[in-house]
Chain A
Amino acid sequence: MDFSALLNDPNFLPWLIPVGPLLAFVIISLLTNRSRMTPATSAAYGGHHPDYEGMLVPIVTDRSRIASIIVGMSGVLAAWAIAYRVVFDALGIADFGRSVFTSAVTWMDTGALTFKMGVLVDPLTVIMLIMVPLAVTMIFIYSIGYMAHDPRQSRFFSLISLFAGAMLILVVADNLLLLFVGWEIMGLCSYLLIGFWFEKRSAYNAAIKAFTTTRIADVIMLLGIAYLYFATGTLSFREIMYDPMPTHDSAAAVAGEHDEGVAVAEGDHSETVVAVEGEAVEGEAIAVAAENEGDHSEGAVAGAEGEYAAEGEHVHTWAIELAETPAIFFGGISAAGVIGIFLVIGTIGKSAQFPLHVWLPDAMEGPTPVSAMIHAAAMVSAGVYAIIRMYPLFEAGGHPHDGDLTSPLMLMAVVGSVTALFAATIAVAQNDVKKVLAYSTISQLGFMMAALGIGGFIAAAFHLITHAFFKALLCMAAGAVIHGMEHGEHHVHAHGHGHGALPAGAVGALPANVGGGAVDPLYDAIPDHGHGAGHGDGGHGANAHDEQPGVSSHAHEVGDEQGHGFDPQDMMNMGGLRRTMPVTFITFLIGGLSLAGLPLITAGFWSKDEILAEAWLGTTKGFGPHALVLVCLSVAAFLTAFYTMRQLGLTFWGENRTEEAAHANLGRGVVSATMTLPLIILSFFAITAGFVGVLPDFPILGGIFSPEGAPFGEFIGRTLVEEPPHLDFNIIPVAISFIVALGGLLVGYLMYWRRPLTAGQRDPLMAILGDSIHTTLRNKYYFDELYIAVFVRPSQWFAKNVAYEFLDKGVIDGFLHLIARLFNFVGDLIKMLNLWLIDGVGDGIPEMIGRLGKWFRGAQTGRIQQYMLLVLVAALVIGVIFALSSGVLQAAP
């Protein structure tokens, strides 16, 4: 095989896209992850782990750091280069989507069925391949600076490479199983990376929470996949949703359960079936399909689905077949409906939707690049991507644009809109700079889910891409803010107060205090776990702060308090950061405005506008779900703009509320350069990524950006067999977008920018909402507490009382103890037998012999005369006997 030809073959190249990061993972894990042992108290370890005092801990060597960075970067850059090569090949093909890049190998040959694993690049994959490697590369660059002095930097790069590799596997997969493989590897990576600073209790708790929560959903998703495979005998996306279904007799052979569905269908296709009977079905599938189309329209007329006949050109895919097949359980729902619901539940877990959203805010315990990875490039995007990927299956049997929602679509619409609104309300009351972003991510994912629920396939994909860009930007900018605040904190401790004797618990201050000298570049590189005790209780750190609004001002007077109470993530401690961190401010502002959907110039506006336009279109036709989505999303969009403005105002505007904030900056040198460069690049995309989706008939701008139809929509629409209808420009949804975005921004401006908060001042929101509502929101509607009460406690109770006390200690231990007793008893019996019989005989024989010997010894007197006497007696006796017996005496006279 000609290797260079292979490398130029776009059908083959997608295989290589995930290889780079995966190889980097292997190389870093096996080769460059070398450590040396250092006392846990040394500054190189961060000096923040009092639990480990006097213990040697491994710290990655400098050479390994550099090698890991080089290997990790090369891996991701290779993936980027190959991905963009494929992307440009794809963009060069006019009718891409009808033809795709794909290749597959036989993975499992089970006799009747051949399971194929392969890669598929269709328009949707192309879009993801534009976004994912770009965002991942930016995150990698950012990580160089952010993790520069972390003791486990190599481990970080190895895991995040695996994360990136898994996302790329998921993107290029051509079947649901391979997608699920990537999906699960990402679950693992998120677990490992959220718990990356496992010294912190909150971090490992968050890791377990994330893993458990997503696992629940994944199991259900796996059920959906299993059912899909059971019903169709394939998991390939194209075979299920694009290619015409193979003939019905083969389908019947594959899934014998479809009696009813097939019975109807077989009648329609009887001629076709006869034609291909006995031939290889696969080879004939296309030829048959041509005939199928005609046949099917008749069949559809005969059946309940009259619409198909009217459309005529419908391709009868597996998805549609499934939609006509009743499920084997849950009477009344079609097979496609059940599978769809299962897959949607998988996404609800992965993309942190309403009932399973609790893990995502806690996941902020991980290092900031991981947050960016989870929130933008991978993980939560993967959930929505999986839905978009399988969309025809969800849609099959319904027509969302005509108000006919299938059950999975209905589920998505409701869950999405509820989540969007619910998370947005929580976000307004959060004071932790990262928590706000976490809830905004949940909310924005709700937008996507809601859009998908009402048929906004293009709108959801569009929002997925733009959101990835601005959310990656926001996460990393927030990381930079936290970094800067820590820098300020160290600065204050080094210069500000000079309190010599810190209380034993004041761990936040260690390295700076010991150094005591001028601020050096090291400080800006100590990552945000440098304040272990500062928010050691995780999510509650911010709460504790809120309950005493005055604490930050007190912190100045009572120097010793600072080591304990200062939380560099708390926005109440910030303010005025625009002066010391201008680049971060500008980029954060751009990302924030894009999130808020500032009209016309930001990417977020265009994608959100499209979702609202979809919802509006349905609402005008009087469809309930569309109206629900429209209302929820409009309010959520308003709140989004508001909390973004609040966040920006609290963080960057006004005066410094703490001395730490006054000294917050990223420093100079490599660290700050690698951290700001990705921000600048991403802020470019946070603005421009939206222009590819401008509706063609949008006044003025439509003519500039999309004279021949919206490029994004045109391109990605070809993923589907039936291209989704293109939206027409409508002034009302645009007006809604304008009003909610500008309104939210304005309210936020009035509350937090015009009169910025001063130190110690209460959040004006508290006065407006009232304490009880604000407290409820701040505590996230007590969902964590609810889940603890409903799930965690009972399962702990169950584990302790039923599983441990009863099952383990009672039944299993009891059974074992019983057996042990029984055998002890038998052993005792045998022991007694042994003692009595065997030992008795064994000891008895020698004893008897000994006794006999002892008795016989008496004969051996050693006196020769005695012996002689005995001999004489014996001789006499023998003589007498002889004499008597031989008759000598009788013979004598």
Chain B
Amino acid sequence: MAINWFKYSAPSTFYGAAGKMIPWFAASSALLFILGLYLGFFVAPTDVQQSEAYRIMFIHVPVSILSMLIYLVMAGYAALGLIFNTRLSAMMASSLAPTGALFAFLSLWTGALWGKPMWGAWWVWDARLTSELILLFLYLGFIALHASIDDPRRADRASALLAIIGSVNVPIIYFSVQWWNTLHQGATIKLTGTTMHVAMQQSLLVMFLACWLYVITMALLRVRSIILERERNNQWVMELTEMKP
């Protein structure tokens, strides 16, 4: 298939394409959230060891996985922007950072609320928890660094460097439960199979997809504003239908 990908890397083309895609991502995310919560609260059985407290898993696991995944995608876009000097890549990286920070925060928050009844502590300085906290600081550092440099192209390059260097933290979070003795449990779902109840697996998967589509929706919504902010001196921006009185 001969799709000209560079055509879509032009902010003016992507602006319109993103606008068309947003309603689909938003609607499917909302539907999957409803389905996922239904499965998680009304179909999945009570856990033998953790009683009802384990239901925190259906939000904690998706936001935690995505907080790492968003970081890698953000660092990937930042790297593309640095190598090919494409404006849109840097804009996508900036667009993903706030959502990533919120997901890292939610991972820590839901983790604390799960840790308290199960471990007896809201927080422990454990490898998994500490490296996730560092991830939150990396997101905040990326946002702050980008905001502190006036020239947007220079801001893109500086924050891209931070994003790329910071990505070494992601495998550290992921493998922390294997590399160190941690209070945090290891992976329950492995390539070799899982001992988890099938309804629990389904709700986890559906909630993960719902959160993923939410992230895409937010990233596309935010990048449209970023495009307008940064391309404001271009004629095509002034000719948009939303500019009509």
Q: Do A and B come from one complex?
A: no
- The interface of chain B, by Cβ under 8 A from chain A, is none
- The interface of chain A, by Cβ under 8 A from chain B, is none
